[in-house]
Amino acid sequence: MSNGLIVNSFYELESRYTDYWNKNLGPKAWNIGPLCLAAEPPENNISKNSSYLRWLDEKFDKGEPVLYVSFGTQAEISPEQFLEIAEGLEKSEVSFLWALRSKGLDFLPEFESRVKKGRGLIEKEWVDQSKILQHDGVKGFLSHSGWNSVMESISAGVPILAMPFMAEQHLNARFVAEEIGVGPRILSRGGSVRGYVAAEEVEMKARELMGGRKVAEEVSKRVAEWGRAAHGAIKEGGSSWLTLDLLIDDVMGKFTK
């Protein structure tokens, strides 16, 4: 009974899927994103003066690229899996900012004490993810591959290290790594899509993204191209701009009949 779907994406990114959907399936999909670029958010004094942004500034001044780490707020991740991720990040020797809102993780105090001497920062309060991804010092995003995070990362031109946990995140991760090529994907033990991720896999992929010249250069080039396309889509005359006009015309036409 639906007249259509409003989608937080842009036509160039998923053109063949959008065309197939609209031709063979439906209801009509209207790609009007990325919504994170639709308007500048109001200045937030909390985020503006946050210690994690000052820490990123310091890292940038020293020429040390940072891997941003966040897995959203919905996925249930076991303490054992958190421990493997932490061990992998520590062994990778890359600088990282980990937005982590979890309680009861016994490894945290000891882990923090080992990495806080300049290389790692764990932020347990709310963070402004958009500002973090837009920071010049952030060169990678270890993400659960939630679609909003994917859109924000592409729009900011930041490569994604995809580590899905639930729901459509696995499909998004495959799209990120295999379809549009904006970053590698972390795999579970034995190469399976779902399951337990070992510290060695996190360490290897983090090194590849942040320090491996071939991988880093390739995905950085690809995400920069998609980032330019995303910004072009929402500009006047861009694909999302024109699609929104068509959506308004379609809705108004139904009301005036």
Per-residue model confidence as pLDDT tens digits over 185-215: 998 876 665 678 999 999 999 999 998 677 7
- Angle, CA of 138, 139 and 142, to the nearest 5°: 90
Closest C-alpha to 142, from 169, 121, 161, 156: 161
Domain boundaries, the chain: 64-235
**Using the 8-state DSSP alphabet, how is residue 13 labeled?**
G
Closest C-alpha to 172, from 9, 5, 3: 9
CA distance from start to end of the chain:
18
Topology classification of domain 64-235 = Rossmann fold (3.40.50)
Closest C-alpha to 92, from 250, 182, 206, 12: 206
Which stretches of the chain score pLDDT less than 50? Answer: none
Per-residue confidence (pLDDT) for residue 190, from 0 to 100: 67
Tokens, residue 225? 């191209």
